[in-house]
Amino acid sequence: MPGESPVARPLRGVTTSGLSVWMNRAITATCMASLIPALFMGANQFDHLHPLWLAVIGGSIIALSLLMPVYAWLEGPFHILAGLYAGIVLIGVVTWPWGWQQGLVNPGSPWIWMCVGVAAFCSAVAGGLRVGLIFAMVASLAFGGIRMTPSGGSASLIHAAQDSLTLLVLPSALIVVLHYRSALVQELDASVAASHRAEVDAALEQALTEERTRLDGIIHDQVMTTLVAAAQSSSAHDPHVAGLAARALATLSGPERAADAGPPVTAAQFTRLIKDIVESVCAIARVRLTRNDPALRISQLVASTLGQAVREATLNAERHADATAVEVDVAATAEGGTSGLTIEIADDGRGFDPGRVPEARLGIRVSLIQRMETIGGRADVVSAPGKGSRVTLSWRGPDAVEDQDSAGLMSAVQPTLFGYLVWGLVAAQIFIGWTALSEVTSIWPVLIAQLVAIAAAGLALSGTDRAGLSLPAALGVLGLLATMTALVHSVLPPGVWPGYATWHSSVVMVLLITLLVRQQRWVAWSGALIFTGQVVVWALQGGLGATEIVRVLFGTLLWLGLASLILRGLRSVGDQLAALKQATQESTKHLAASFSALVLREVWLTDIREQVAPMLSKVADPAHELTDDERRQCRVLEGRLRDGLRAGNLISRGVSDAIGAARSRGVDVTLVDNRGSRLPEPVRHATLRQLEELVNSTDGGRIVARAAPEGYPEAVTILSVAVGRGSRLTMIDEAGAISVRET
Amino acid sequence: MSVLRPVRTVIVDDHEAIRLGLTAALGHHTQQSVVIVGSAPTVTELLSQDVDADVVLLDLSLDDGSDPKDNVEALIDAGFRVLVYSIADNIRMVRRALAGGADGICRKAEPIAQTVASILAVAEGQTVLSQEMLAAIEGDQAYVAASLGPRERQVLSLYAAGLEIPEVARTLFITENSVKEYLKRIRAKYTQVDRPAASKLELFRRAIEDGIVPPVEPLT
């Protein structure tokens, strides 16, 4: 698919409709399938029902069951249909005694029983988890109630309770599964949103590339060209050069706030940004994130303004304080609906009396405070002579943006929760079995079978720290289930329908589904086959007919099939989800890196403006005549920008200043950065210190500092050649150790 | 060695201020050993003018977005000798020009006398070795690893670190001439090295190298 986004399209289909379509089709199949046993059961009941009731309720159930596939197929508003189905079934249950015409006692159980479970499931599709569970409860109680009326077979309380319990437990369990599924769909939606964010990221990166190109272009093409042209110009005023300077000035003072469009940043990203900024200004400063709050999000505007304020405060410490240590602590908080950042820049320098601040430092204080005010923050300066100084920048903002990251697929199929569900269902069946102890010929085999059932459940749920179950364990479960079935069948009374004495069929179903979930598909279906065989043998031996076989097998096989379908859907979605997550994480990583570069550039551009704007104004001024000294300054400025573009590893603000001064004294300083990456911190630290000392102590001659390509024994070499003397080569290795060689 | 007639030089630069400024500056400084006989904003335009000149001062990033390697090759084919004349261009563009066979590099910001000396040397057919040029080559790690022997790498490393030829010779206990030979060979081998192209594609690759844009597989 050339020209199309490779990530988002197919997955969006999977989430919003794909899995729902799977589910809808599975429900449709179940609704239609449940018509068959309902017809079986209802065969001798239809005559006794009021034709109008039969037409309205029965007709609606059949009509809706037949309409469902159409909606599921055409992806129409399926939930409306599902809600209607649930509503009709509930009305049918409640009005059943009125629909039952004659005063006869119903010889069986009302056929609508077959539809109640599915209806509960449908109600959950239409209204969610809570509606589904309430529906299951109300419908099962209502059914228990009518079961005790003549129309419902005048069942005893215990039989009615058995029916109610069965109707409550199984559908409720499935509704909880459905809830997992909707959590999964939500997670997928979040992932799709994330993949959308990935597209946004890509767009941002594109914008960043363009921005870099634009900035490099401005510096190179306009500012540096102007400075060179001015330095070369022989006449006092050259209109061409003045034109260049005016254009460069206009571009530099262009829109300052380009960065606000981007996504907000976390405290950790912000700290990284501060690190970058501070390092370029003051080599001895240490930046720490003293308190993090993962929920904090700061807009890029705030981040870049804070960054500039930090830069200014650190620069101030570097220039005026004579400090031996500068510490920058970043603390993030996000509580009570506001997020906040506090940044402290503390130095151990000479300090000053805030009451008698020198003019230069007052200016910095004022500009710091003004800068902070533009984003609704504040700056406080505390200092005393000889006691260092401490600048506190604080910002409080509106509510932190919650990150929509979901806990992942495992949260949707939590092993422990799944375990509880299985245990709950098995326990309920065992309880139902107890209530039917009067139906069997001997109690002890039933009780032993129940112990076997518990053992089978324990084995099926063993080792849930892994998703899959081992083959021996799965086969063991199969053996235990077969034993349990044989034990139960051995005490069922021959020739009569044993009622809830067949509780074991539900246990078989639940545990076979467990095997399916735990990736033992073939074993699960083999178990279904074995169980079918056992049921058929039991029915034939006991002289029972097809109806009884269907009644025992129907539920087990139907739910097993349904679970199999749902699991298949979940598996394919899970695979894609995992792939998508990885892609999203990677793109987020890139975003973090690119973001800091972007904001850093903005800070850097402001820096450049401060450096070159005064000189550019002079060049652009038609009334101004450039002196030779100003031409020299133009060259020095050009060299400074060149170093900034080409030798980022070798300069800080302090080193830049020193080099500028040295060049003005006539020292030839060359910086070469052949390293493809950032210098390790100790190397950079040692380099900047050495370079600054060397540059400051040289009055002529030549200095060449070079960052070697990665993998060289010495990371940085600094060559200094004094006039009339030999040269000295300072080498700094990858650990920051310094060695000197005189040549 | 004296030059019998002034070296005829043309400037290719997209900034008029630079072209005019350099023309005037050379007029003041050279005692007619170098004369500017023409200028153009692009290589294509210069070639269409049919100028008779010895040396071309070539800016690297021109307005037409042309590739420095193509530009240098076109100029050499037309019989010129090429001296790169740049500000602080992207190092990869410098390498492109070197791969195209440029005879030397000089910087716009350097004193005019130095530029004149480079022009004269190039006109005489010398390869102008400079620390900047060899540092640019050294930074191309793939080339250094693939094409240079251990001795060549040592020489290159010391020279790129700023040592002069006699110092490099003393340090390695070889003659100055051998150092020069090594450097010339390193420079010569670099011609025709296929470095990534300039302009938009180059920018894109550069963005990938800098980790801004993740690499993508081409669509088939």
pLDDT digits (tens, 9 = 90+) for A595-639: 555 565 666 677 778 888 899 998 888 888 888 888 888 888 888
Q: How confident is the model at residue A68 (pLDDT cuts 50, 70, 90)?
A: confident
Q: How confident is the model at residue A355 (pLDDT cuts 50, 70, 90)?
A: low
Classify residue A722: in a domain, yes or no. yes
pLDDT at residue B107, as a whole number: 86
pLDDT at residue B214, as a whole number: 36
Q: Which of A312, A231, A258 is nearest to A616 (CA)?
A: A231
Q: What is the rounded distance in angstroms from the CA atom of residue B161 to the CA atom of residue B138?
A: 10
Q: What is the rounded distance in angstroms from the CA atom of residue A115 to the CA atom of residue A129?
A: 19
pLDDT at residue A456, as a whole number: 93
pLDDT digits (tens, 9 = 90+) for A328-350: 999 887 666 667 889 999 988 88
Of A3-7, A174-178, A595-599, B163-167, least confident by mean pLDDT is A3-7
Domain finish residue from A400, A423, A448: A400
DSSP string for residues in A48-115: GB-HHHIIIIIHHHHHHHHHHHHHHHHT--HHHHHHHHHHHHHHHHHHHHHHB-SSPPPSS--TTHHH
Which CA distances in Å does A452 have to A86, A458, A484? 37, 10, 6
Q: Which of A279, A398, A327 is nearest to A649 (CA)?
A: A279
- Roughly how many angstroms between the first and final C-alpha of chain A, as a whole number? 64
Q: Which of A508, A534, A504 is nearest to A439 (CA)?
A: A504
How many domains does chain A fold into? 2
Q: How confident is the model at residue B155 (pLDDT cuts 50, 70, 90)?
A: very high
- Tokens read off for B6: 């002034």
B142 vs A60, higher pLDDT = A60
pLDDT at residue B208, as a whole number: 45
Backbone angles phi, psi at A226, to 5 degrees: -60, -45
pLDDT digits (tens, 9 = 90+) for A409-455: 334 445 566 777 788 888 888 888 888 888 788 889 989 999 999 99
B/e letters for A548-576, b = 16+ CB within 10 Å, e = fewer, are: bbbbbbbbbbbbbbbbbbbbebbeebbeb
Q: Which residues in chain B have Cβ-Cβ distances shorter than 8 Å to A670?
A: 131-132, 162
Span A70-90, average pLDDT: 84
Determine whether B23 is exposed, middle or buried from the number of CB atoms within 10 Å of its CB (0-12, 13-18, 19+): middle
Q: What is the rounded distance in angstroms from the CA atom of residue B16 to the CA atom of residue A718?
A: 38
Classify residue A71: in a domain, yes or no. no
3-class state of residue A710 by DSSP? coil
Residues paired with B85 in a beta bridge? B106
Q: Do B214 and A586 touch (CB under 8 A)?
A: yes
DSSP E strand stretches across A299-415: 326-335, 338-347, 377-383, 389-397
Q: What is the rounded distance in angstroms from the CA atom of residue A219 to the CA atom of residue A251?
A: 10
Domain that holds residue A728: 647-742
Q: How confident is the model at residue B29 (pLDDT cuts 50, 70, 90)?
A: low
Q: How many angstroms away from the CA of B1 is the closest CA of chain A?
A: 27
pLDDT at residue A75, as a whole number: 67
Chain B residues with CB within 8 Å of chain A CB: 15-18, 20-22, 24-25, 28, 61, 87-91, 108-109, 112, 131-132, 135, 138-139, 141, 144, 157, 160-163, 167, 170-171, 203-204, 207, 209, 211-214, 219
pLDDT at residue B200, as a whole number: 46
Q: Which of A595, A599, A612 is nearest to A218 (CA)?
A: A612
Q: What is the rounded distance in angstroms from the CA atom of residue A358 to the CA atom of residue A318?
A: 16
Classify residue A281: in a domain, yes or no. yes
Q: Does pLDDT of A98 surpass 70?
A: yes
> If you ran DSSP here, which 8-state letter would residue A598 be given?
H
Q: Does pLDDT of B194 surpass 80?
A: no
Distance of CA A403 to the CA centre of its chain: 7
H or E element that contains A727: strand A727-733
Average model confidence (pLDDT) across chain A: 78
Confirm if A74 and A24 have CB atoms less than 8 A apart.
no
Domain finish residue from A400, A426, A455: A400
Q: Which residue, among A674, A698, A704, would best test binding to B if mutated, counting the most B CBs under 10 Å from its CB?
A: A674
Q: Does pLDDT of A265 surpass 90?
A: no
pLDDT at residue A412, as a whole number: 41
Classify residue A107: in a domain, yes or no. no
Of A258-262, A565-569, A604-608, least confident by mean pLDDT is A258-262
pLDDT at residue A482, as a whole number: 93
pLDDT at residue B213, as a whole number: 39
Q: Do B18 and A229 touch (CB under 8 A)?
A: yes
DSSP string for residues in chain B: ---SSPEEEEEE-S-HHHHHHHHHHHHHHSTTSEEEEEEESSHHHHHHHT---SEEEE-SS-TT---HHHHHHHHHHTT-EEEEEESS--HHHHHHHHHTT--EEEETTS-HHHHHHHHHHHHTT-----HHHHHHHHT-HHHHHHH--HHHHHHHHHHHTT--HHHHHHHHT--HHHHHHHHHHHHHHHTT--PPPSHHHHHHHHHHHTTSS---PPP-
Classify residue A695: in a domain, yes or no. yes
Q: Nearest by CB to A642, which of B28, B88, B167?
A: B88
pLDDT at residue A212, as a whole number: 59
Q: Which residue, among A5, A221, A225, would best test binding to B if mutated, counting the most B CBs under 10 Å from its CB?
A: A225
Q: Which of A568, A462, A559, A590 is nearest to A521 (CA)?
A: A568
Q: What is the rounded distance in angstroms from the CA atom of residue A432 to the CA atom of residue A74?
A: 41
Domains belonging to chain B, first-starting first, are: 7-206 (3.40.50.2300)
pLDDT at residue A196, as a whole number: 55
Predicted model pTM: 0.54
Q: Do A232 and B21 touch (CB under 8 A)?
A: yes
Q: Does pLDDT of A13 surpass 60?
A: no
Domain finish residue from A373, A400, A427: A400
pLDDT at residue A41, as a whole number: 75
Beta strands across the sheet bearing A389-397: A285-291, A326-335, A338-347, A389-397, A377-383
pLDDT at residue A306, as a whole number: 85
Q: Do B108 and A641 touch (CB under 8 A)?
A: no
pLDDT at residue A211, as a whole number: 59
Q: Which residues in chain B have Cβ-Cβ distances shorter than 8 Å to A668?
A: none
For chain B, give the longest Cα–Cα distance.
Answer: 61
3-class state of residue A295 by DSSP? coil
Q: Which of A335, A273, A337 is nearest to A302 (CA)?
A: A273
Span A243-248, average pLDDT: 86
Amino acid at site A326? V
Confirm whether the ipTM is greater than 0.85: no
Q: What is the rounded distance in angstroms from the CA atom of residue A96 to the CA atom of residue A93?
A: 5
Span A112-136, average pLDDT: 85
Amino acid at site A497? W
Q: What is the rounded distance in angstroms from the CA atom of residue A715 to the CA atom of residue A735?
A: 9
Determine whether A225 is exposed, middle or buried from the number of CB atoms within 10 Å of its CB (0-12, 13-18, 19+): buried
pLDDT at residue A107, as a whole number: 73
pLDDT at residue B111, as a whole number: 82
pLDDT at residue A156, as a whole number: 81
A216 interfacial to chain B (CB closer than 8 Å): yes
Q: Nearest by CB to B138, which of A590, A702, A709?
A: A709
Q: Do A719 and B161 touch (CB under 8 A)?
A: yes
Confirm if A730 and A683 have CB atoms less than 8 A apart.
no
Beta carbons within 8 Å of A60's beta carbon, 6+ residues apart: A84, A88
Q: What is the rounded distance in angstroms from the CA atom of residue A487 to the CA atom of residue A453?
A: 11
pLDDT at residue A573, as a whole number: 65
Classify residue A634: in a domain, yes or no. no
Classify residue A547: in a domain, yes or no. no
B214 vs A51, higher pLDDT = A51
pLDDT digits (tens, 9 = 90+) for A163-200: 888 788 777 877 776 676 666 666 666 666 665 555 55
Of A41-45, B55-59, B71-75, B207-211, least confident by mean pLDDT is B207-211
Q: What is the rounded distance in angstroms from the CA atom of residue A679 to the CA atom of residue A650?
A: 9
Q: Do A212 and B207 touch (CB under 8 A)?
A: yes
Confirm if A569 and A22 have CB atoms less than 8 A apart.
yes
Classify residue A285: in a domain, yes or no. yes
Span B48-67, average pLDDT: 87
Beta carbons within 8 Å of B160's beta carbon, 6+ residues apart: A672, A674, A706, B131, B134, B135, B137, B138
Beta carbons within 8 Å of B220's beta carbon, 6+ residues apart: none
Q: Does pLDDT of A703 surpass 90?
A: yes
Angle, nearest 10°, between helix axes B150-160 and B131-138?
A: 130
Q: What is the percent of chain A where pLDDT is above 90? A: 13
Q: What is the rounded distance in angstroms from the CA atom of residue A625 to the CA atom of residue A80?
A: 83
3-class state of residue A341 by DSSP? strand
A231 interfacial to chain B (CB closer than 8 Å): yes
3-class state of residue A356 by DSSP? helix
pLDDT digits (tens, 9 = 90+) for A360-411: 555 566 677 877 888 888 888 888 888 888 889 998 876 444 333 333 333 4
Q: Do B21 and A238 touch (CB under 8 A)?
A: yes
- Tokens read off for A151: 């129309």
Q: What is the rounded distance in angstroms from the CA atom of residue A194 to the CA atom of residue A585?
A: 9
A residues 81-120 closer than 8 Å to B (CB): none
H runs (alpha helix) in A621-719: 628-646, 653-664, 681-696
Span A207-211, average pLDDT: 56
Q: CATH number of the domain that A272 lies in?
A: 3.30.565.10
H or E element that contains A267: helix A267-281
Q: Does pLDDT of A257 surpass 50?
A: no
